[in-house]
């Protein structure tokens, strides 16, 4: 019988948690990515601490003895990563207090615009007060990682997690494979869009869904949230042979795409094009055709020129190219949209 228990982490001062930074995993696989807080939000958190306001609870997974030995770590952050990393960043001098900061304990003390080091030098007692602030950390012990992932998902229901972040918290074999595919050099070096909110996970999941749908029914499914969620639930455990088989296919075509596109390629600035390009490379291999970046650039320029023609002479423009242009702007996850854009591409490439 799996279990999950919680209890407050004792003596969780800012100074202690910072001193144990190397013992804390801040990016377990169920976590969302960091780096999405604005400077103003970071400053507000430090303001709250210095002015003795309560801050929301932070949840740490407390490793047992075996986990500590295997990982060399003591904790993993379940929820509160942004708060913890903001505190660390302030201590390390990566940002300062806001220019309108007011120290409520003594209005005569001017801390506005100061860094952590400035406070240490000019107001050492306030620095000690900050270091001694006890963070509301709840420790979680469990023998089942899926319960941790479920807890993370539940804790963030009130926060606008996007579909990829929620799906990542499902856990399981297919989610792990999505993570693996998202680390392919094509995503880390070729695509133009970032992975701040797991956009690479989303695209990798769509490519796996393409192969899963072709394996299961020999037809293309919509690459929408409902189908992606269904796939990760269906292949959560016990079907690694199938997952490995479709993953090998996806990896093969990503290798081909990686060889074609350039670093941070403008042709790959939108997620909506990835599935179509992927299917184009599948079509090209089946038909013994070589796809080059210059041919893709020429097609992109053709679409642009056709758009300009339509602005002055709609009847003189190519309808297929206009339709391709329109379809790239809406419903890019519909199977019908994907098939039509692929048709236009293959006829003009």
> Which residue, 109, 130, 155, sits at the end of a domain?
155
Owning domain of residue 240: 163-348
65 & 151 share domain: yes
The burial class, CB within 10 Å (0-12 / 13-18 / 19+), for 159 is exposed
Give the C-alpha separation, 269 to 250, whole Å.
20
> Which residue, 131, 155, 179, sits at the end of a domain?
155
- pLDDT, tens only, 189-217: 999 988 877 889 999 999 999 999 999 99
- The answer to whether the CB of 293 falls within 8 A of the CB of 258 is no
Is residue 90 predicted with pLDDT exceeding 90?
yes
pLDDT above 70 coverage of the chain, percent:
93
146 & 15 share domain: yes
118 & 196 share domain: no
CA distances to 134, 206, 248 from 241, rounded to whole Å, are 48, 19, 11
167 & 312 share domain: yes
176 & 287 share domain: yes
**pLDDT level of residue 111 (50, 70, 90 thresholds):** very high
Give the C-alpha separation, 111 to 113, whole Å.
6
What is the 8-class DSSP label of residue 60? Answer: E
Give the C-alpha separation, 85 to 139, whole Å.
18
- pLDDT, tens only, 128-140: 999 999 999 999 8
Which of 193, 188, 152 is closest to 171 using CA atoms?
152
Is residue 260 predicted with pLDDT exceeding 90?
yes
14 & 89 share domain: yes
312 & 338 share domain: yes
> Which residue, 135, 155, 175, sits at the end of a domain?
155
220 & 93 share domain: no
| Three-state DSSP state, 97 | coil
123 & 203 share domain: no
**Number of domains the chain contains:** 2
151 & 168 share domain: no
169 & 225 share domain: yes
pLDDT of 152 reads 66
196 & 341 share domain: yes
pLDDT above 90 coverage of the chain, percent:
68
- pLDDT, tens only, 309-345: 998 998 999 999 999 998 987 778 899 999 999 999 9
Q: For residue 66, how many other CB atoms are within 10 A of its CB?
A: 8
């Amino acid at each position: 019988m799996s279990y999950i228990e919680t209890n407050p982490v004792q003596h969780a001062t800012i100074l202690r948690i910072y001193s144990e930074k190397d013992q804390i995993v801040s990016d377990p696989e169920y976590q969302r990515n960091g780096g999405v807080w604005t400077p103003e939000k970071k400053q507000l958190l430090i303001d709250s601490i210095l002015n003795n306001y309560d801050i929301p609870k932070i949840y740490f997974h407390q490793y047992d003895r075996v986990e500590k030995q295997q990982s060399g770590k003591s904790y993993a952050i379940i929820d509160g990563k942004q708060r913890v990393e903001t505190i660390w960043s302030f201590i390390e001098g990566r940002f300062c207090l806001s220019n309108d900061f007011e120290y409520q304990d003594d209005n005569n003390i001017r801390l506005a615009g100061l860094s952590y080091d400035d406070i240490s030098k000019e107001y050492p007692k306030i620095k000690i007060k900050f270091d001694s602030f006890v963070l509301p950390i709840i420790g979680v012990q469990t023998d089942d990682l899926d319960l941790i992932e479920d807890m993370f998902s539940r804790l963030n229901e009130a926060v606008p997690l996007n579909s990829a972040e929620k799906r990542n918290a499902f856990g399981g074999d297919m989610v792990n494979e999505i993570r693996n595919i998202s680390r392919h050099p094509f995503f880390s070096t070729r695509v133009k869009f970032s992975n701040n909110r797991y956009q690479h996970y989303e695209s990798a999941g769509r490519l796996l869904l393409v192969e899963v749908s072709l394996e299961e029914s020999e037809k293309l499914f919509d690459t929408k949230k409902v189908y992606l969620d269904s796939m990760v639930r269906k292949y959560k455990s016990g079907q690694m042979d199938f997952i490995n088989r479709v993953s090998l296919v996806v990896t093969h075509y990503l290798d081909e795409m990686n060889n074609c596109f350039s670093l941070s390629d403008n042709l790959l600035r939108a997620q909506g094009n990835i599935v179509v390009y992927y299917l184009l490379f599948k079509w090209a291999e089946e038909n013994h055709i070589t796809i080059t970046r210059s041919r893709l650039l020429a097609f992109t320029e053709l679409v642009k020129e056709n758009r300009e023609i339509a602005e002055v002479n709609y009847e003189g423009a190519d309808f297929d190219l206009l339709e391709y242009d329109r379809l790239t702007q809406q419903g890019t996850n519909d199977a019908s949209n994907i098939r039509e854009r692929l048709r236009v591409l293959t006829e003009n490439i």
